[in-house]
Amino acid sequence: MAYVLGFLYADGNVVKTNRGTHYIAWYSADHTLLTQMRDSVKAEHLIKLRAAKSGQVYRMQVGSRE
């Protein structure tokens, strides 16, 4: 879990949207790494391919209205 938190600090972000929802997101060029992190926190969220300034990256986003 410390690795997941450190990865969020280095390559992630926390966002509050205009609709009042909150989410955290992790970004990586390595799909396998995000899959392992998702499995370690027992999540079922999708990992999607996104375009970024540095090229294609994968994003895992976890959010809540609460």
| Residue entry with tokens 């926390």 | 14
Summarize the confidence of residues 8-34 as an average pLDDT.
87
Task: For residues 13 and 23, give the distance between their C-alpha atoms in angstroms, rounded to a whole number.
Answer: 8
Q: Is 10 a residue whose pLDDT tops 80?
A: yes
Task: For residues 66 and 24, give the distance between their C-alpha atoms in angstroms, rounded to a whole number.
Answer: 13
> Tokens at residue 2, please?
């410390």
**How sure is the predictor about 55, in pLDDT bands with cuts at 50, 70 and 90?**
confident
**How sure is the predictor about 35, in pLDDT bands with cuts at 50, 70 and 90?**
very high
Angle at 20 between CA 18 and CA 25, to 5 degrees: 85
User: What pTM was computed for the model?
Assistant: 0.76
Q: Which residue has the higher pLDDT, 11 or 56?
A: 56
